[in-house]
A and B are shown apart, each in its own frame.
Chain A
Amino acid sequence: EPEVTQTPSHQVTQMGQEVILRCVPISNHLYFYWYRQILGQKVEFLVSFYNNEISEKSEIFDDQFSVERPDGSNFTLKIRSTKLEDSAMYFCASSTQGGYGYTFGSGTRLTVV
């Protein structure tokens, strides 16, 4: 069964550093997403990406965040200057059409120290 692959599975970074979280969506999917889940809390939408541009983003997705699909297969989330409160599990997802459910990756646990 096709999978969404995320790397690394766990990343530790110092506050103020830049991090890039990587995702390889399912190859024939057209919509890509990032969500995050702060430990023990709800899953929150960050951003969706379609046709090489951001289609929707939440209030969480401020100027510190950016997304990119650099080579037609990878989909990355960059946090420019990490804060302690960015510590969370970040999930990438992809879908053929958003209204019918996604396939999620297994997540990257980001710890900012």
Chain B
Amino acid sequence: GNSVTQMEGPVTLSEEAFLTINCTYTATGYPSLFWYVQYPGEGLQLLLKATKADDKGSNKGFEATYRKETTSFHLEKGSVQVSDSAVYFCALPDQTGANNLFFGTGTRLTVIP
């Protein structure tokens, strides 16, 4: 099946720093790719997605570009805030056409003032 490998954390940044969380995927074909975020004490929320190669997903200042050449979907934000402190998960369908998702191990981000 498909899988993702996600940058291990934890990551600690100062407010307004630049964020990159790496995610690479292994897949048959070109499945949709997702980033989910889990704020402390809450469930998973879809942060952004890209449904085909070269697409850029964006939301709340976060961006990720679906790059088939490098099989990557790295999450970036130019200036992080304390409120961005959360665990970030890269995900994709377990198999082409499947409805269940395979999640990466998650990267914990802590932003300090």
Interface residues, chain A, with chain B CB atoms under 8 Å away: 6, 31, 33, 35, 41-45, 48, 50, 55-56, 58, 91, 93, 95, 97-107
Which residue of chain A is the closest to B89 with respect to CB atoms?
A: A43
Which residue of chain B is the closest to A57 with respect to CB atoms?
A: B100
Contact A56 B103 (CB under 8 A): no
Contact A33 B31 (CB under 8 A): no
Contact A42 B106 (CB under 8 A): yes
Query: Of B32, B43, B102, which is within 8 A of A101 by CB?
Result: B32
Highest count of chain B CB atoms <10 Å: which of A45, A55, A91: A45
Query: Of B32, B43, B99, B101, which is within 8 A of A107 by CB?
Result: B43
Contact A55 B46 (CB under 8 A): no
Interface range, B side: 20 to 34
Across-interface contacts of A33 in B (CB, < 8 A): 99-100
* 4 A-B pairs with least C-beta separation: A98-B99, A106-B43, A43-B103, A104-B44
- Docked complex Cα distance between A104 and B34 (Å): 14
Highest count of chain A CB atoms <10 Å: which of B31, B32, B101: B101
Highest count of chain B CB atoms <10 Å: which of A33, A35, A101: A101
- Docked complex Cα distance between A100 and B50 (Å): 9
Contact A101 B34 (CB under 8 A): yes
Given contacts A42-B103, A45-B101, A45-B102, contact A105 B43 (CB under 8 A): yes
Which residue of chain A is the closest to B105 with respect to CB atoms?
A: A42
Contact B99 A55 (CB under 8 A): yes
Known contacts A97-B99, A98-B100, A99-B99; 15 further A-B pairs (Cβ under 8 A): A41-B105, A42-B105, A43-B89, A43-B103, A50-B99, A55-B99, A56-B94, A56-B99, A91-B43, A98-B101, A99-B32, A101-B49, A102-B46, A104-B44, A107-B42
- Docked complex Cα distance between A107 and B89 (Å): 16
Binary A-proximity of B80-110 (CB < 8 A = 1, otherwise 0): 0000000001000110011111111110000
